[in-house]
A and B are shown apart, each in its own frame.
Chain A
Amino acid sequence: EVQLVESGGGLVQPGGSLRLSCAASGFTFSVYDMNWVRQAPGKGLEWLSYISGSGRTIYSADSLKGRFIISRDNAKNSLYLQMHSLRAEDTAIYYCARDNNDGYGYRPFDSWGQGTLVTVSS
């Protein structure tokens, strides 16, 4: 069974940093592209960043202005999001989500974690 479990969320002061993790199991992690998506309270979904299975290709939302950095450790079956210069508007649930390109068509975000809440407040 595919499982994605996020961790690392919590309360952080404005201007602070936080690193989120996503532990993957139930599939060959290194083969799959991964993403981070967030959802502010009562709002819609916002895609943040993508990383290919090898880690060599990365895309991120321009709105982040380089404050967030996606990475992965395939040996540890883990995805990360390093967040810097956090602002109140970064308060959201952060999800990791898998892309699936296993030969049955490219399915974006076919599996999601349960999310981890990040609250930016003084």
Chain B
Amino acid sequence: EIVLTQSPATLSLSPGERATLSCRASQSISSYLAWYHQKPGQAPRLLIYDASSRATGVPARFSGSGSGTDFTLTISSLEPEDFAFYYCQQRNYWPRTFGQGTKLEIK
């Protein structure tokens, strides 16, 4: 099973700042990594797929990069609605697995 390790566990930033979230896979998953965010009481929402492709309707301030085992989600300038939990997920191998999540909180 592929283990995805997200860091940091919690990221405290202010609106307007740049956020960088990391996801590391226990072995190469090519570019088959997705990112989701989830606000309390809501279902997750797909942000990025195939490491760097933005999903429909996702603002341009969200970008993804990486391949192999190391991946990054960058939010260029934080908006108030971006403070949430973020999860990475791989689809290169079964079972599909998620990272444990990063909480992005307001500083």
Is the contact region of chain A dominated by helix, strand, or loop, or is it mixed?
strand
**Contact residues, B43-90 vs A (CB, 8 A):** 43-46, 49-50, 53, 55-56, 85, 87, 89
| Interface size of B as a range | 20 to 34
Residue pair A62, B95 in contact (C-beta under 8 Å)? yes
Residue pair A47, B96 in contact (C-beta under 8 Å)? yes
Give 1 or 0 for each of B5-46: 1 = CB within 8 Å of chain A CB.
000000000000000000000000000001010100001111
Of the candidate stretches A15-23, A70-78, A82-90, A110-118, the one touching chain B is: A110-118
On chain A, the residues within 8 Å of B85 by CB distance are 44
Instruction: Specify the chain A residue showing the minimal Cβ separation from B43.
Output: A112
Instruction: Specify the chain A residue showing the minimal Cβ separation from B99.
Output: A44
A95 at the interface (CB under 8 A from B): yes
In the complex, A95→B87 CA distance in Å? 15
In the complex, A120→B70 CA distance in Å? 37
In the complex, A50→B93 CA distance in Å? 13
18 contacts between A and B (CB under 8 A): A44-B85, A44-B87, A44-B98, A45-B36, A45-B38, A46-B98, A47-B95, A47-B96, A50-B96, A61-B95, A62-B1, A105-B49, A105-B53, A106-B50, A108-B49, A108-B89, A110-B56, A113-B43
Instruction: Kindly list the 5 A-B residue pairs having the minimum CB-CB distance in the complex, ordered from nearest.
Output: A112-B43, A47-B96, A45-B98, A44-B101, A107-B49
- List chain B positions with a Cβ less than 8 A from chain A: 1, 34, 36, 38, 43-46, 49-50, 53, 55-56, 85, 87, 89, 91, 94-101
- List chain A positions with a Cβ less than 8 A from chain B: 35, 44-47, 50, 59-62, 95, 105-110, 112-115
Given A50-B96, A112-B45: 16 more A-B contacts, CB < 8 Å: A45-B38, A45-B98, A47-B89, A47-B98, A50-B94, A59-B94, A95-B43, A106-B49, A106-B50, A107-B46, A108-B46, A108-B91, A109-B44, A109-B89, A110-B46, A112-B43
